[in-house]
Amino acid sequence: MITHDKLYIDGDWVRSEGDGVLEVTDSFTEEVIATIPDGTVGDVDRAVAAARAAFESWSGLPKEQRAEFLMRIHAGLEARSQEIAEAITREVGMPIGLSNIIQVGLPKANFAIAAGLLGSHEFEERIGNSLVVREPFGVVGCISPWNYPLHQIALKVAPALAAGNTVVVKPSEVAPINAFILAEIVHEAGLPAGVFNLVTGVGPVVGEAIAAHPDVDMVSFTGSTRAGKRVAEVAARNVKKVSLELGGKSPNVILDDLDDEEFAKAVSAGVGKCFANSGQTCTALTRMLVPRDRLSRAESIVTATAAKFTVGDPFDPTTRLGPLVSAVQRDRVREFIRLGVEEGATLVTGGAEAPDGPTTGFFVRPTVFSDVTPDMTIAREEIFGPVLSIIPYDSEEDAIRIANDTVYGLAAGVWGASPERAQRVARRLRAGQVEVNGGAFNPAAPFGGYKQSGLGREAGRFGLEEFCEVKAMQL
Ligand code: NDP
């Protein structure tokens, strides 16, 4: 049992002003594994004041020195990799092998990329008689979700600090242990007091206090579209920059020019792109669009592929599908499965019942629906569980229309025999990132959403610029 009874503010571990405590649950054993402070508005005030006081000297450091601090954090993450992977596997339920690669590998990459950019990025340019300079905003509030918890924090903290901002971080109450490890690493790395602050607590209290704070200059939020809209509303009261990384309902268009072998490969890979992290991925490709005359072939491929997603203890190396993060999330996902059946979709595999095997853990069967129509709830709403909807289409135009028929626009996939045609279709999809023929995730490429999937971009050069104000000096 881990007891965190202090927040990290102004370079020190301090008690919350309140005495509330939040419990963290293991998604497999269902036992409470940690407690953390349920922070208050007063705690946010203290953290923001510390970040404000630290801003001038931090932003005034030569960028090489800021890069050095970021690389020290990177080294700290490296040294504690195993511990971080295990903590996130307990909190979120991701199989341990994948946690090692993704939940630790990506945060490390984010710090290394931000540090590297400080060596190469041009913060100043001339436009005619103007000198245009990029400067930090000031104090940045970072509010993050639970599904890739440390990655989402690092995507904000690393570029924000690189650009010269100071930060107040509010991690998800559901998966906060990794954020405490990060704060310990930051402390050991010797960052000046107040540059990085951690306040845990619940969104409507600590999150809103950060978004509303008159001395916070920018809020960077990742989470649901519902909470993101609220953050934007609250932040608008004192007009601050808001960047939002929100939900998705991403399409995966499988074109009609693939031969049977390539078609099987595309469909099978598509199942993996939906089920990764038990479907708790904002970019999950949850709507698979297949030519109508190949629907039954797609069904038999997905049935065989889904059967390989064995549920079980996420610390067992043979487990491919861990539990969902919480009982609330499991129940929500099962309700969507019931709705899919009620609305007339064909249940190809899976279902709302508990899977055979584990006696504890918030499991949902790997589930695939076929013959889904674009108006069904399971085709429109983000489910955030291992539930794939196969939607038949009649022509390329029809596929593009269905793919874009969503309020979201975070990600998409296209598979086709002709790379030119696949890219042409990819250009017409209204989404922030599109994988063509399974193109690998690139942590340095811009990441973010069209439409109600968000505002702004994270990662790499675009992510760094997101944390910069722009000043033009006419000379
Ligand atoms: P939530 O929106 O519930 O929570 C995200 C964060 O916001 C948490 O820290 C939460 O606090 C906080 N929060 C909740 N309500 C408010 C509020 N009123 N004001 C300020 N902060 C608030 O999302 P989940 O954690 O459930 O994460 C899942 C969602 O995140 C999915 O919709 C997913 O698509 C999206 N997501 C998007 C990504 C992207 O890059 N586009 C990446 C990853 C996830 P608390 O601790 O109380 O929950």
Mean per-residue pLDDT, 66-93: 98
Query: Rounded CA gap, 27 and 32, in Å?
Result: 9
**Ligand 1: which residue has its CA nearest to atom 36?**
223
Please measure the distance between the N-terminal and C-terminal CA atoms of the chain and give it in whole angstroms. 61
4 within ligand 1 shell (Cβ under 6 A): no
Q: Are 222 and 145 in contact (CB under 8 A)?
A: yes
pTM value is 0.97
Each residue's pLDDT tens digit, 242-289: 999 999 999 999 999 999 999 999 999 999 999 999 999 999 999 999
Residue 445 DSSP class: S
Each residue's pLDDT tens digit, 173-192: 999 999 999 999 999 999 99
203 within ligand 1 shell (Cβ under 6 A): yes
Could you list the active site residues? 245, 282
Each residue's pLDDT tens digit, 356-370: 999 999 999 999 999
**pLDDT of 241:** 97
* Cα angle 25, 31, 34; round to 5: 50
E strands, 98-165, in order: 124-127, 130-136, 139-143
Query: Rounded CA gap, 40 and 208, in Å?
Result: 11
**pLDDT of 396:** 98
With a pLDDT cut of 90, the percent of the chain lying above it is: 100
CA of 250 to the centre of ligand 1 (A): 18
Q: In ligand 1, which atom is closest to the CA atom of 329?
A: 26
Query: Rounded CA gap, 169 and 141, in Å?
Result: 6
CA of 153 to the centre of ligand 1 (A): 12
Closest to 22 in 3D by CA, of 3, 8, 9: 3
Query: Rounded CA gap, 247 and 413, in Å?
Result: 16
Mean per-residue pLDDT, 227-232: 98
432 within ligand 1 shell (Cβ under 6 A): no
Look up residue 213 and give its amino acid: H
Mean per-residue pLDDT, 76-85: 98
**pLDDT of 467:** 98
CA of 424 to the centre of ligand 1 (A): 33
223 within ligand 1 shell (Cβ under 6 A): yes
Each residue's pLDDT tens digit, 192-224: 999 999 999 999 999 999 999 999 999 999 999
- Which residue reads 């709830």 in tokens? 377
410 within ligand 1 shell (Cβ under 6 A): yes
Query: Rounded CA gap, 381 and 306, in Å?
Result: 21
Each residue's pLDDT tens digit, 413-458: 999 999 999 999 999 999 999 999 999 999 999 999 999 999 999 9
Each residue's pLDDT tens digit, 36-79: 999 999 999 999 999 999 999 999 999 999 999 999 999 999 99
Q: CA distances (Å), 386 to each of 133, 306, 324, in order?
A: 46, 10, 9
> What confidence category does residue 394 fall into, taking pLDDT thresholds of 50, 70 and 90?
very high
* Both tokens assigned to 22: 């939040």
**pLDDT of 162:** 98
